[in-house]
Chains A and B, each alone.
Chain A
């Protein structure tokens, strides 16, 4: 529950280049501007961040707030879930009117799966980190993706353990160093490549400092029905923002290779975006909304799994960090479809709906007397 204090997710020490850009609503100076469900941006705030000033995670928090506001998400229909780590603390800092669940280390995916089967009407926003996902939680992450449980799964990835003060995580690049100078010798786990390999229907990578790219990706992820993985490089200003880290601001700024500009058009808005033919790609979401990818360098096809994996590997070879919507297959069957659940959330079923009548018990008892058909 929100404690009612004013919220500024991006802390005072946020660097100039990651301060969220002014939103259209903010531009007209109307703090009380309302979205399509009649809420103001402040209705999407959470409590004050306790992370280090300038932490990339704060910028992601701000992007989530902005994206949720712009999408007109109903806060009470959202459940915020996380594991353990700096990133996993952030659900307290956004959507204070949503139920939140800060679980145990690496196990948010199983919590999300349980919540989703109990109530498939909820929008689940899962926040994890690179340690929480790629080390202790790798198994649960893989199985969440494999089941295609509808969760917006955000990895706030800084390649380092912050809360325990600077140890490597499994996403740290070979040759990167800790603040103390030790060098990582192990291959990094690329969560995006892994998710694509496991059949994930929405895989994107972005950078906490690139709100312009992150916001439409988040809005598209909210509309996706299935697991949506967003690996967001988020520099750790305390333990990894130094020369030897491949996840520092300077490094990422220099090596970021965006795939495309992204526009997201929700289903409830008239589609007015007009791209020149041949330069954009339209990905339609099941709810009728659209993601438009504006071509930058190459003619990138986000519906090709092979192309997505090749792009990730090529970029790695060039020591580049490829960002954007890497892979999208929005029509995959979601987990609850496979379970063939009734329309009413299981959590809301009445006793009459879940306790079979006495005649059923009588039938079973009769079978157990004779052993026939039991």
Chain B
């Protein structure tokens, strides 16, 4: 068969059973492609279950560097009898299906390319241990795909060694299974498919890491001292990674004593309470959770806002509310986190769009929280947090930490008086002292909504209003301190605003729009709330603005409309909310469906009403 080869542009889906040990096999595939220099991403679509339910792992390899999820897959590996019929039915003409031949599937159309592999038989000579056979069988499909796609054998070997080198017996077994699959495919299959992997040079020097581990690294180098948490998917792995790093790198070499405390709290209310207590006392304190935890924390979050206590809260967003799809991704907490708590409250939020952002914001969130003396949210999501992403290596922090406006005994000594909530220099941020400060002038009483500039109890209307207005002034200062957006402004009439993990789909969708519909777009990647001046400038400059979000209610669009009411008619939300990571096609289709898109084709030369 003569087929034009499709090189380094394909998606693989492995359909398997949760808890079956496929993770190592999938890591070997992902990393082998990565080490061949091909841009990749790997996404784990898993159920809320420890073992037994279906799970899918998708790997996308793309020479142009597109690493968002693709809706369609080119290659399917069938390992789960339960879902096999549906999995096969989802594959289109020309797709490749690697079938564990002990799994019965309905008749498959002629124009799909099926490679049945007798996996059980191939495992027989490798080990007699039934349990091991079940785990190691996954390596058979690694070998089969290695042959079918032309993976570099030495890279597969290197990854196997990196993953299992510390367990020689396991390494030998897995190695044997890879070989068995590879040799079987070589001997029995004529390659009737076009997909091939070939070495290129797009990943040299890069790392592969998930967003939660990246956030943990940032927190480590940000100098976190107190970490509190309550286990919750998809956030737990952030704290668990952090515990690993802290254990390795933050113990006094002489005494073995820790320069940090990690407390697993009884619930998220206690977790945020501990963070506020520690932040009040001067520690760099953080917690990490997901939507349900943010819900529980909301009373304390508002307290932190009003009492002006630094805190860092990571929210690895998932589908909500409650249970059901806790292992699926979303950006549904934007409004809730931003306005969390009763009364007038608004919180700065950082939106990491990459693992690099997760790392950077891990450091910066502490500086911001302490400078602004307020809870700062970092809104990541399951897709970014729990999946593996490529990145350039992270740089060492180039700035010293910022502990904010804290007065110690030496400063208090020369002061006639200290007032905790007085804005003495016009940025809306007062000075604070820490418990343990010796000078009696430094002591103050922290409480909720009833205090004046001197932290004295008051219920006077004017006092309350003054404090509220100063907090608003502080929010204006926050605008100038939060990370600015990344703007690509080529003078087009249409602009796209996106944030968080949607970024990667937008990058690809902009190319689709340009190449397929001749629609050129500018792009603003939002990194934080409150909106900085650069956002205002972008909004003013573009007559049509598509806001890409992974939620139903266009939450960021709402905030933009509130912030820029005179331009409210310009915003068109492009929404994706089925629990799966957003893909480029959904974005470009959404934009193309706008009636004004024809006019936009002439980019920058037309006026759209």
Contacts and interface: CB of A to CB of B under 8 A. Distances in A.
Interface of A: 1-3, 47, 75-77, 79, 81, 91-92, 96-104, 107, 109-119, 121-122, 139-140, 142-143, 336, 339-343, 345-349, 351, 353-356, 358, 360-361, 364-365, 368-372, 374
A354 B225 contact: yes
A348 B397 CA distance: 21
A122 B445 contact: no
B281 A79 contact: yes
A140 B299 CA distance: 15
A81 B278 CA distance: 13
Given A102-B448, A368-B209, A117 B223 contact: no
A246 to B, nearest CB: 31
Given A97-B443, A114-B277, A358 B165 contact: no
Contacts of A98: 435, 443
A142 B245 CA distance: 30
A116 B278 CA distance: 7
Contact of B257 (A101, A341, A360, A364): A341
B597 interface: no
A365 to B, nearest CB: 4
Contact of A117 (B261, B440, B443): B261
Nearest to A113: B274
A99 B265 contact: no
A139 B268 CA distance: 12
A32 B207 CA distance: 68
A99 B444 contact: yes
A365 B435 CA distance: 38
A374 B355 CA distance: 15
B220 A356 contact: yes
Contacts of B444: 1, 99-100
B578 interface: no
Contacts of B163: 371-372
12 contacts: A101-B447, A104-B273, A113-B274, A114-B283, A118-B280, A119-B434, A342-B252, A345-B282, A348-B282, A355-B401, A371-B159, A374-B209
Contacts of A143: 265-266, 270
Nearest to B454: A1
B228 interface: yes
Contacts of A360: 249
Contacts of B260: 346, 354
B436 A345 contact: yes
Given A104-B299, A371-B31, A76 B443 contact: yes
Nearest to B269: A107
A346 B436 contact: no
Nearest 7 A-B pairs (CB), nearest first?
Answer: A114-B277, A110-B273, A347-B282, A118-B283, A99-B435, A372-B162, A368-B207
A355 B221 contact: yes
B36 to A, nearest CB: 14
B225 A118 contact: yes
B396 A361 contact: yes
Nearest to B227: A117
A341 B226 CA distance: 11
A340 B222 CA distance: 21
Given A355-B397, A356-B250, A371-B208, A76 B269 contact: no
A1 B456 contact: yes
Contact of B440 (A76, A139, A339, A365): A76
A4 to B, nearest CB: 10
B406 to A, nearest CB: 10
A103 B447 CA distance: 6
Contacts of A97: 440, 443
Given A99-B444, A113-B277, A118-B285, A354 B394 contact: no
A346 B273 contact: no
Given A140-B266, A370-B162, A113 B225 contact: no
A347 B434 contact: yes
Given A76-B436, A104-B299, A1 B273 contact: no
Nearest to A353: B259
B601 interface: no
Contact of A1 (B205, B221, B267, B420): B420
A115 B27 contact: no
Nearest to B282: A347
A368 to B, nearest CB: 4
Q: Which of A97, A107, A345, A348 has the most CB of B within 10 A?
A: A107
Contact of A114 (B245, B273, B400, B438): B273
Contacts of A347: 225, 278, 281-283, 434, 436
A122 B283 CA distance: 14
A47 B443 CA distance: 13
B266 A117 contact: no
Nearest to A342: B257
Contacts of A76: 435-440, 442-443
Nearest to B255: A342
B457 interface: yes
A115 B281 contact: yes
B554 to A, nearest CB: 32
B221 A75 contact: no
A351 B363 CA distance: 12
A2 B158 CA distance: 68
A98 B436 CA distance: 8
B278 A115 contact: yes
A358 B397 CA distance: 9
Interface string B244-255: 010001101001
B90 interface: no
Contacts of B586: none
B468 interface: no
Given A107-B269, A111-B273, 17 more contacts: A76-B442, A91-B445, A99-B434, A99-B436, A101-B280, A113-B263, A117-B226, A119-B282, A119-B436, A122-B436, A143-B270, A369-B205, A369-B207, A370-B162, A371-B27, A371-B159, A372-B165
Interface in B191-240: 205-209, 217, 220-226, 228
B31 A342 contact: no
A114 B252 contact: no
B273 A107 contact: yes
B435 A107 contact: no
A75 B257 contact: no
Contacts of B12: none
Contacts of A336: 261
A109 B300 CA distance: 13
B345 interface: no
Interface in B1-37: 27, 31
A346 B279 CA distance: 11
Greatest chain A CB density within 10 A among B161, B272, B396 is at: B396
Contact of B283 (A346, A353, A361, A374): A346
B256 interface: yes
Interface string B394-408: 101100110000000
A88 to B, nearest CB: 10
Contact of B277 (A91, A111, A345, A364): A111
A370 B30 CA distance: 12
Contacts of B279: 114, 118
B179 to A, nearest CB: 21
